Amino acid sequence: MSNKPDKEAKAAYHIKQKRNVAPEFNAYTRTGQRWLDFGSDNLYPQGTVKLLNSATHNAIINTKAAMAYGTGPVFDPADEQLRAALDAACGGDCEPFLRRVLRDIVVHNGFAIRVRYSADFVGVAQLEYVDFKTVRVESPTNQADLVPKMCFLSPDWAQITPNTYSSGGASASHEPLFNPKLRHVHPDNATGEPTQILYGIVPSDLTDFYPAPDYLGVINWALTEIEIGNYHYKNVSNCFKPDMIITMPDTMAEPEKEDFVRKLTEQYSGTDNAGGMIVLFAPTTQSATGSEGILYPQITAMPNSANADMWLITLDHAIQQIITGHRLTSPAIAGLSGAGGLGGNASEIATAFDYFYNTVVKDYARRMNDLMWPVLSFMGFNKPIRFGSPIAFTPTDVVDVLETPNPPM
C-alpha cells in the first residue's frame, strides 16, 4: 500500500485573526542595549493602557483616580507660599498636574516628571508632566554600582530597535535621572537651565527598576471582557452573518488559493473571528476513494447561537473577577450594576464607599507623596501634600438618587 498522501484530499485554509495578548512583565537587556526593556516586548505600559478598553476596568480606574484626588490639594494658611511656588512651577495651577500624576499611579504604579532647575540652580523653575509610557531607564549594567543614572524617552517605543536610538520617524532621547547633587551637569544642555527626570515607581517583586500595577490579577479578565465585546461588535458589523465553510473547486495553484482566501477575507469578514470562515478546496471530479467532487463553490453556515449562554456566563464571571481584583467593595461605587449595586441597601453602599476609600484609594496619595518627596523637599516642603477627602455617600443621598424619577423629556 502506498504511503503517499492523496493528492485529491481537501486542503483547509483557516482564516487566522490577530488577538489581544496579555502584557508580560519581565525586564531584561539585550547585548549592547543601553536601556532596560519594560516587559517582554518593551511595551508593557502601553499594554496596561490598552486594558482601559475594558468597560468595567476603566470605570474602576476612573473611580479610583477621582477618589484619590478628592476635592484637590489642601494647604494650611502657613503653607500658602509653598502652594504659590508649586502653582508657578506647574504653569500657574498645580491641580491638573497633580491629577495626572495621581492617575498614572493608579494605572501604572508610577509616574515621570521633568524637573527644570532655575538659572542659578538653587530652585525649581518648572515641573513638567511626562507620559509614563515614554520612559525607559538605563540598563543598570552600564554603571559600576548597578544604579541607573540616565533614562531614555521616546513617543513610540514600538519603532525603536534594540541597538539604535531611532527608527523611521521615531527616536529616543536621553536625560539624567533626578539627582540634585548633579543639577549643574547635563550632557546635552546649552541653555544653562538643566533638566532631570524624576522617575517615581513602586518597585515590583520582579524588578527594582519598573513598577507593576496593583491589579495584576485583573489583566486576563479585562482582556476577556475586551474580547467578548469585540466579538459581539464584529458580529454586529458583519450583520450577524454566521461563520462559514466555503468549499471551492480545486482548480487553482497554491499561490492563487492563498490570494483568493486573502481577498475573500478582506471583502467579507471582520478583523476578528466573528463572521469568519474556513475555506476548503475539493476535487472537481469523484476521486478513486469515492469522495464526492464539486463543480461550483459550496457555502456551509456554522450557526453559533448555541454559544450565547457561554458568552454571557463568561462575561459575568470576568466582570466579577475584575471587581474582586480591584478590591472594589461595592460595584455601585464605580457606577456598576451587580450584587450590592444601586439596587442594594443604601447604608451598605455608604459604608462600602468609606471602607474602599480608607483601605484602597487613600494609599495612592501616600505613594505620590513618597515618590515626589525628593523634589518637594528640594522645593522647601516640610510636609506631604494633603488631598481633601472625596464627598462621601450618605444613606439619605443614595435613597434620594434611587427614588428621584427621571426628568420629563
Question: Does residue 32 form part of some domain?
Answer: no
Looking at the fold, whether 78 and 177 belong to one and the same domain comes out as yes
Residue 118 burial class via C-beta count within 10 angstroms: exposed 0-12, middle 13-18, buried 19 and up: middle
Across all residues in the chain, what is the average pLDDT?
Answer: 78
Identify the band that residue 29 occupies on the pLDDT scale cut at 50, 70 and 90: low
Q: Cell 513618597 sits at which residue?
A: 370
State the pTM of this model: 0.76
What is the CB neighbour count within 10 angstroms for residue 179?
Answer: 12
pLDDT given at position 396 = 58
Picking from 88-97, 257-266, 278-287, which range would have the lowest pLDDT averaged per residue?
278-287
118 and 265 share one domain: no
- Asked which of 307, 338, 367 is the last residue of a domain, the reply is 307
Statement to judge: residues 55 and 95 lie in one domain? yes
H/E stretch holding 309: helix 308-325
Q: Average pLDDT in the 134-162 region?
A: 84
* The last residue of a domain, from among 156, 182, 209: 209
Same-domain status, 72 and 148: yes
Q: Rounded to an integer, what distance in angstroms lies between the CA atom of residue 52 and that of residue 92?
A: 30
352, 329 in Cβ contact below 8 A? yes
More confident residue, 300 or 271: 300
* Gap between the Cα atoms of 204 and 216, Å rounded: 11
Q: How many domains does the chain have?
A: 2
The answer, yes or no, to whether residue 251 has pLDDT greater than 90, is no
What length is written for the chain? 409
Residues 145 and 244 in one domain: no
Give the structural domain span for 269: 11-17+222-307
Residue at 380 is within a domain = no
260 burial level (CB within 10 Å; 0-12, 13-18, 19+): middle
pLDDT surpasses 50 at 2? no
Residue whose C-alpha is closest to residue 141's, from 227, 223, 37: 37
Final residue of a structural domain among 287, 307, 327: 307
Strands 243-249 and 277-282: parallel
CA dist 257 and 100 (Å) reads 52
> Which pLDDT belongs to residue 172?
84
Residues 125 and 245 in one domain: no
Give the full edge-to-edge strand order of the sheet including 124-130: 124-130, 110-117, 195-201
Instruction: Flag whether 217 is in a domain.
Output: no
Is the residue at 408 inside a domain?
Answer: no
Segment 297-348, tens digit of pLDDT: 666 666 655 566 787 888 899 999 999 999 999 998 988 876 444 445 778 8
The DSSP string of 205-267 is SS-SSSB--TTGGGHHHHHHHHHHHHHHHHHHHTTTPPEEEEEEES-S-HHHHHHHHHHHHHH
Cα–Cα distance for residue pair 88/379, rounded to 1 Å: 12
Same domain, 94 and 154: yes
* Same domain, yes or no: 204 and 283: no
Q: Are 57 and 22 in contact (CB under 8 A)?
A: no
Q: In this structure, is residue 295 part of a structural domain?
A: yes
Least confident window among 53-67, 138-152, 282-296, 314-328:
282-296
Same structural domain for residues 56 and 204?
Answer: yes
Q: Give tens-digit pLDDT for 193-244.
A: 589 999 999 988 777 889 999 999 999 999 999 988 887 777 776 666 666 6
Stated as kind and residue range, the H or E segment containing 45 is helix 44-50
Q: Are residues 204 and 226 in the same domain?
A: no
d(CA 37, CA 209): 10
Dihedral angle at the C-alpha atoms of 395, 398, 403, 404, nearest 10 degrees?
130
Best CA proximity match to 108, nearest among 135, 73, 126: 135
Pair (197, 244) in one structural domain: no
Cell, residue 223: 482582556
Pick the most confident of 16-30, 326-340, 389-403.
326-340
* 122/166 same-domain check: yes
